[in-house]
């Protein structure tokens, strides 16, 4: 058998020139890219945080109820709220029965004669405020509590946020909105 010898010396002699050639090829390619590349225009689309309802946030009821205090002083739209119970003619509770959230109808809704039914699904648009003793006094002077029991129940919300709504929309039984009516959404 013929012995051709080791080719190790041949590989050692080509390693450095091949490495330099590889760097030159990559460098040349990068230079060619920088010369021939055309600048691209990046368009930044800023999302408008104000919806057509004027709300700064549109939230599912579960998302809203997880931390309503973070929206204090802001207009929000709450979707799919279940009316848990009534609190006199001007207010009601939404959410789960074991942790309800207070909602007060605004003066425009009261003048329009708007009303909601217990267990009704509604979409609400309003401002989140913090309940205080002075707020209770004002509500009492406006006739929000037809009896002393309603006022006592409302006192449980002192120190908590509440939603003063300017619009209420009844949801169709399938869960969709009814087109945005702000009139009477039910009767007692």
Q: Is residue 129 part of a domain?
A: yes
Q: Is residue 96 part of a domain?
A: yes
- CA 116 to chain centroid, in Å, comes to 24
pLDDT at 181: 43
Total number of domains in the chain: 1
Q: Is residue 139 part of a domain?
A: yes
pLDDT under 50: residue ranges of the chain: 50-51, 175-184, 186-188
78 three-class SS: strand
Looking up residue 131, the CATH number of its domain turns out to be: 2.40.50.140
Q: Is residue 187 part of a domain?
A: no
Q: Is residue 14 part of a domain?
A: no
Range of the domain at 66: 57-170
pLDDT at 1: 55
Global confidence as pTM: 0.63
Q: Is residue 182 part of a domain?
A: no
Burial group, residue 4, by CB count within 10 angstroms (0-12, 13-18, 19+): exposed
How far are the Cα atoms of 26, 85, 141 from residue 158, in angstroms, in the given order?
A: 70, 18, 17
Q: Is residue 31 part of a domain?
A: no
Q: What is the pLDDT of residues 85-117, one digit of tens each?
A: 998 888 999 988 888 999 999 988 888 888 889
Q: Is residue 93 part of a domain?
A: yes
Q: What is the pLDDT of residues 171-181, one digit of tens each?
A: 866 544 444 44
How far are the Cα atoms of 23, 91, 170, 175, 181 from residue 185, in angstroms, in the given order?
A: 75, 14, 6, 15, 8
């Amino acid at each position: 058998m013929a012995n051709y010898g080791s080719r190790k010396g041949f590989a050692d002699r080509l390693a450095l020139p091949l490495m330099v050639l590889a760097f030159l090829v990559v460098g040349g390619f990068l230079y060619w890219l920088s010369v021939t590349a055309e600048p691209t225009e990046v368009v930044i689309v800023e999302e408008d945080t104000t919806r057509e309802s004027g709300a700064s946030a549109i939230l599912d009821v579960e998302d809203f109820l997880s931390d309503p205090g973070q929206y204090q002083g802001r207009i929000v739209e709450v979707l799919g709220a279940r009316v848990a119970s009534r609190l006199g003619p001007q207010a009601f509770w939404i959410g789960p029965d074991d942790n309800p959230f207070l909602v007060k109808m605004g003066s425009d809704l009261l003048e329009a004669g708007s009303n909601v039914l217990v267990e009704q699904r509604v979409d609400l648009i309003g401002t989140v405020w913090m309940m205080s003793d002075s707020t209770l006094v004002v509500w009492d002077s406006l006739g929000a509590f037809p009896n002393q029991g309603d006022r006592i129940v409302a006192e449980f919300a002192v120190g908590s946020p509440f939603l003063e709504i300017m619009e209420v929309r009844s949801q169709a039984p399938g869960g969709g909105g009814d087109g945005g009516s702000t009139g009477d959404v039910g009767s007692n």
